[in-house]
Chains A and B, each alone.
Chain A
């Protein structure tokens, strides 16, 4: 069967091309239930985008939840077999939106590589993230960073509250507030300056990296920067996508470590791709090995290219005298010509048509 691509929504079209991409690289489909025991989410609330979950009690009295996240379910099902499990998914998740305060259904696709992962696996996932964005639009950007850098710069700060406030400012590229917060909390000026460099929006990335190399004596930071530079250059070269280093990327350090990613498509106002390496979540869930993956928020692509349905129909005007056989013969004829046909007894107002074929009284 040949499928006319124009019948697919942008999300469906994207998902089919992503599925093809992931299968080509040896990823198989993860299939999951729509609900899980609530305990899984209750124990890992910080990992979730929002901590509100839709719950219900099943027939055995267990508290269940409609899945607000896919990664936790994937990790829960992971059984170590001595090799990396590679999988992709396309699932709905149910989350509360911070803006509306009500629950919504969000369509997500993504991949996860779990187990004894190495540099090759990390590179492959970053590359597939870049290629995924490219398959959605040529005008895309993948930003990457390494959480080891931020983690190392923050290592001298013991207050969790202060760390959280600084991390938020770094993620907002808000260097002026970092200076204020650090000054009030008497954070050493060298640390404050390094944090401002991470958040910096105006300095070029290479200048920022050089400045950080000069200012830091931490071998972990130098190693993380080297890894990052190599990864971004190689991924950009192989994928043909703009893979940029953005040291202001942040993530929850209780779960993520190493590389983190964030992807954007021109014309879509929010981040469409997010992910990274999350060995700490594996550790927290008592699973051996590491993990890396990303999710693409397909629902954000709904309004890509304006989000309007531009399909133009041929209208066949009919009445009670018209022969059904003749009407549908005409419709088939139009469809065979690659057109789309609808049959109505009146011309619908507020709509325009490719053509109007009057078959009133046709027998």
Chain B
């Protein structure tokens, strides 16, 4: 299949990606079967709309776009800040709104005499935040169930995404500080943008009317 002339879009798998696709479809870029849970197709093409979608792991969207496998994609600001992909960040889609927070036990009190142990899936964001504060930290890089770390004494605090705060509360944790607000962003490959700027800008403009 020659997808060269189509706008190749990397969508993040999951609830956010489904919401994003619905907005893309409403903006005039629909595609059959994209939301069909029974399909085994990996790539979805609508030649008439000039678009081609594929689902990828949310943390991989920026890699697909940076490396040019996708012309554009939708990635969370958390992923953009963590991996610093060399891409254009064209629009804030105001979807998947949450915040990157420092969280800890309700009775947590920071002791500046000790190195602060921070468990996180986002080591670069955590390092950069505490470097700005001049606070000495020990990063504990985890890949899931971050909330367990302070509960079991593995870390003093965690740096993680907080949406409603319900998971934190259920585990006896509270948000202590907000590092940065997070939402989904439309990103574009720097080279693809040069050759498909009209198509990308038209899509971005249509999206802006719906968000």
Contacts and interface: CB of A to CB of B under 8 A. Distances in A.
A202 B89 contact: no
Interface residues of B, number: 24
Contacts of A172: 87-89
A98 interface: yes
Interface in A258-278: 264-271
A139 B195 contact: yes
B90 A173 contact: yes
Contact of A202 (B67, B195, B201): B201
Contacts of A202: 201, 204-205
A270 B195 contact: no
A201 B201 contact: yes
Nearest to A265: B191
Interface in B72-87: 84, 86-87
User: Could you say which of A176, A201, A202 has the most chain B C-beta atoms within 10 Å of its C-beta?
Assistant: A201
Interface in B47-91: 66-68, 84, 86-91
Interface of chain A, helix or strand or loop or mixed? loop
B194 interface: yes
B18 interface: no
B92 A176 contact: yes
Nearest to B202: A202
A265 B197 CA distance: 14
A264 B89 contact: no
A199 B86 CA distance: 16
Contacts of B84: 98
B66 A201 contact: no
A201 B88 CA distance: 9
Given A174-B89, A201-B90, A269 B189 contact: yes
A141 B193 CA distance: 11
A315 B18 CA distance: 53
B140 interface: no
Nearest to A204: B201
A173 B190 CA distance: 10
Given A141-B194, A173-B88, A201-B90, A269 B201 contact: no
A266 B68 CA distance: 10
Contacts of B192: 269
16 contacts: A139-B195, A141-B194, A143-B194, A173-B88, A176-B91, A201-B201, A201-B204, A244-B194, A265-B191, A266-B194, A269-B68, A269-B190, A269-B191, A270-B191, A271-B190, A271-B191
Given A173-B188, A201-B193, A269-B190, 5 more contacts: A141-B195, A172-B89, A176-B91, A270-B68, A270-B190
